[in-house]
């Protein structure tokens, strides 16, 4: 029978099927961080059981960490306690631990691919919904809750009903200044935040085929924002070239074996999806959100749509726009911006900083904007320095911070104050996500750059002729 890419990877990992229940799914790689793992380890202790395969789990500290002065002890006692718990638990159970200050430390979904932990055709889970990022490699990757973290530690399996399958095709040539982030925000604006709930998505079409691995990660990262458990893209030459030779990638004979497996990972020509959408890449423009969920996005040159065009009833729409202080029919261009955040597992990789830098080069940071540039990992941080981007950024008045999730969820001190407006390259514009009362507009690193130098929402296409 013809199979989709998703079917192939899923079926290969089913240990057993439970009559009238979920499948028992084997997990190849498990990533943990300090926030969603402590209670899972407590569970192991109270059951008096160990970790079945410690070498399949990797720990990094990211959600709760400061992005300056990482060499100093963490000031917030609660955060320090969580970081300590991650370290102690990892040590006790023999799990690789890349804590604060460790050379391999960074955001869990950034370091996984960097070190070759992320592999095509693997099953990957983490107690963080943006685990969907790893789907860029043709892996089945999704976020889980803490009970499931405990399950994976104890048994390397979780129990999941098999989701339905959706394919989203985007073909055509992307316009000037249109990035993978815009493609993703566009798709979510079309499907709404619940449009893919119950589905696992495969992205197909030349727009994704032509993307770099980093661009694909940005797209897959945002799959969860339309309700999908995850999204994936069939591995190709681009994928294999990226994966080959990384620290935890298979080597020698194991590599040849893995390669043979990777090559089987594509949807058969006549495989059927439960749902399919097709969009024209040329019609997408740089996007920005105006509301309080990622589905409330629009082309930057458009006007804020009316309630009838937005998911949720009029009450939900009004609550959302009231929170943002925006009105139906307004243009977003020219709106005041107080904060700019470039980072997160959505847009905290080197290509994002290259894009940002290309636009701000030779310009200057607007005076009344606070800009947080937070690399996704130490590798990204060193690339920024080695490629000379830091010099350009410094010249333009910007400061580079240290790696972590930072203002993506504002668990550390990087909080946007109540009522202030932030253009953010992260993934969620929920009420209070970037700090109580903070007002978030999601956008690409280019739109963030345009805001950083003008202090306003600005169409990046109007600022430079040649965009990377």
Nearest to 328 by CA among 297, 305, 309: 305
Q: Does 214 bind ligand SF4 (CB under 6 A)?
A: no
Shorter beta-carbon distance to ligand SF4: residue 4 or 129: 129
Residue showing tokens 């394919």: 167
Burial state string for 104-134 with b = 16 or more CB within 10 A and e = fewer than 16: bbbbbbbbbbbbbbbbbbbbbbbbbbbbbbb
Q: Does 355 bind ligand SF4 (CB under 6 A)?
A: no
Q: Does 188 bind ligand SF4 (CB under 6 A)?
A: no
| Bridge partner list, 204 | 169
Q: What are phi and psi of 90, to 5 degrees?
A: -60, -45
Smallest separation, CB 165 to another protein (Å): 14
Cβ-contact 68, 177 below 8 angstroms: no
Window contacting ligand SF4 (CB under 6 A); options: 103-111, 177-185, 279-287, 308-316: 103-111
Smallest separation, CB 136 to another protein (Å): 16
| Bridge partner list, 199 | 164
Residue showing tokens 């992307």: 174
Smallest separation, CB 427 to ligand SF4 (Å): 5
Q: Does 258 bind another protein (CB under 8 A)?
A: yes
Q: Does 129 bind another protein (CB under 8 A)?
A: yes
Q: Does 258 bind ligand SF4 (CB under 6 A)?
A: no
Alpha-carbon distance of 246 to 243, in angstroms, equals 6
**Three-state SS at 457:** coil
- What DSSP string runs through 330-380? -B-TT-B--EEEE-HHHH-SHHHHHHHHHHHTTS---TT-EEEE--SBHHH
Among 198, 305, 397, 455, binds another protein (CB under 8 A): 198
Q: How would you classify residue 31: left for phi > 0, otherwise alpha for psi between -120 and 50, otherwise beta?
A: beta
Smallest separation, CB 434 to another protein (Å): 10
Window contacting another protein (CB under 8 A); options: 19-27, 179-187, 215-223, 345-353: 19-27
Window contacting another protein (CB under 8 A); options: 203-211, 360-368, 380-388, 428-436: 428-436
State the pairing for strand pair 23-26/157-160: antiparallel
Q: Does 22 bind another protein (CB under 8 A)?
A: yes
Interface mask toward another protein for 354-393; x: CB under 8 A: ----------------------------------------
Q: Does 442 bind ligand SF4 (CB under 6 A)?
A: no
Q: Does 349 bind ligand SF4 (CB under 6 A)?
A: no
Range list of β-strands (E), 377-462: 421-424, 439-442
CB atoms < 10 A from the CB of 439, how many? 22
**Three-state SS at 199:** strand
Among 194, 301, 370, 382, binds another protein (CB under 8 A): 194
Alpha-carbon distance of 74 to 230, in angstroms, equals 33
Alpha-carbon distance of 27 to 317, in angstroms, equals 40
Give the pair of three-digit tokens for residue 73: 């002890």
**Binders in 50-79 for another protein, by CB under 8 A:** 52-53, 63-64, 76, 78-79
Q: Does 121 bind another protein (CB under 8 A)?
A: yes
Interface mask toward another protein for 260-299; x: CB under 8 A: -x-------------------------------x------
Q: Does 401 bind ligand SF4 (CB under 6 A)?
A: no
Alpha-carbon distance of 445 to 267, in angstroms, equals 32
Smallest separation, CB 343 to ligand SF4 (Å): 7
Nearest to 113 by CA among 353, 377, 400: 377
Q: Does 100 bind ligand SF4 (CB under 6 A)?
A: no
Among 136, 201, 337, 345, binds ligand SF4 (CB under 6 A): 345
Q: Does 63 bind ligand SF4 (CB under 6 A)?
A: yes
Q: Does 109 bind ligand SF4 (CB under 6 A)?
A: yes
Q: Does 216 bind ligand SF4 (CB under 6 A)?
A: no
Q: Does 427 bind ligand SF4 (CB under 6 A)?
A: yes
Question: Which stretches of the chain bind ligand SF4, using CB under 6 A?
Answer: 62-63, 107-109, 128, 130, 344-345, 405, 408-409, 426-427
């Amino acid at each position: 029978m013809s199979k989709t890419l998703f079917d192939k990877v899923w079926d290969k990992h089913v240990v057993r099927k439970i009559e009238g229940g979920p499948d028992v799914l084997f997990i190849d790689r498990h990533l943990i961080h300090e926030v969603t793992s402590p209670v899972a380890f407590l569970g192991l202790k109270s059951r008096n059981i160990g970790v079945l395969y410690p070498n399949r789990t990797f720990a990094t500290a990211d959600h709760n960490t400061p992005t300056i002065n990482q060499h100093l002890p963490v000031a917030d006692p609660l955060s320090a306690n969580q970081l300590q718990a991650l370290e102690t638990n990892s040590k006790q159970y023999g799990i690789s631990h890349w804590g604060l200050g460790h050379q391999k430390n960074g955001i869990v979904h950034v370091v996984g691919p960097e070190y070759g932990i992320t592999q095509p055709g693997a099953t990957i889970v983490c107690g963080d919904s943006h685990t969907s990022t790893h789907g860029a490699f043709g892996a089945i990757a999704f976020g889980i809750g803490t009970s499931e973290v405990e399950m994976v530690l104890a048994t390397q399996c979780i129990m999941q009903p098999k989701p339905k399958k959706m394919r989203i095709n985007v073909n055509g040539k992307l316009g000037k200044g249109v990035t993978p982030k815009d493609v993703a925000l566009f798709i979510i604006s079309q499907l709404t935040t619940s449009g893919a709930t119950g589905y696992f998505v495969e992205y197909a079409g030349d727009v994704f085929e032509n993307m770099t691995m980093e661009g694909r990660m940005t797209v897959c990262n945002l799959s969860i924002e339309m309700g999908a458990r995850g999204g994936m893209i069939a591995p190709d030459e681009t994928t294999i070239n990226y994966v080959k030779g990384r620290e935890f990638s298979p080597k020698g004979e194991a590599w040849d074996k893995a390669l043979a497996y990777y090559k089987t990972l594509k949807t058969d020509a006549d495989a059927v999806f439960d749902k399919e959408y097709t969009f024209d890449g040329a019609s997408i423009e740089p996007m920005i959100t105006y509301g309080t969920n990622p589905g409330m996005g629009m082309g930057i040159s458009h006007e804020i749509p009316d309630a009838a065009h937005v998911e949720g009833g009029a009450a939900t729409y009004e609550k959302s726009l009231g929170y943002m202080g925006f009105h139906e029919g307004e243009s977003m261009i020219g709106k005041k911006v107080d904060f700019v955040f470039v980072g997160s597992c959505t847009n905290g990789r080197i290509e994002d900083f290259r894009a940002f830098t290309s636009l701000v080069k030779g310009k200057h940071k607007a005076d009344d904007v606070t800009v947080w540039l937070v690399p996704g990992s130490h590798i990204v941080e060193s690339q920024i320095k080695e490629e000379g981007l830091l010099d350009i950024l410094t010249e333009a008045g910007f400061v580079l911070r240290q790696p972590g999730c930072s203002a993506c969820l504002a668990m550390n001190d990087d909080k946007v104050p109540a009522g202030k407006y932030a253009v953010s390259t992260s993934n969620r514009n929920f009420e209070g996500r970037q700090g109580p009362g903070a007002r978030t507009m999601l956008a690409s690193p280019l739109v963030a750059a345009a805001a950083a130098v003008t202090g306003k929402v600005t169409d990046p296409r109007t600022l430079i002729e040649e965009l990377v």
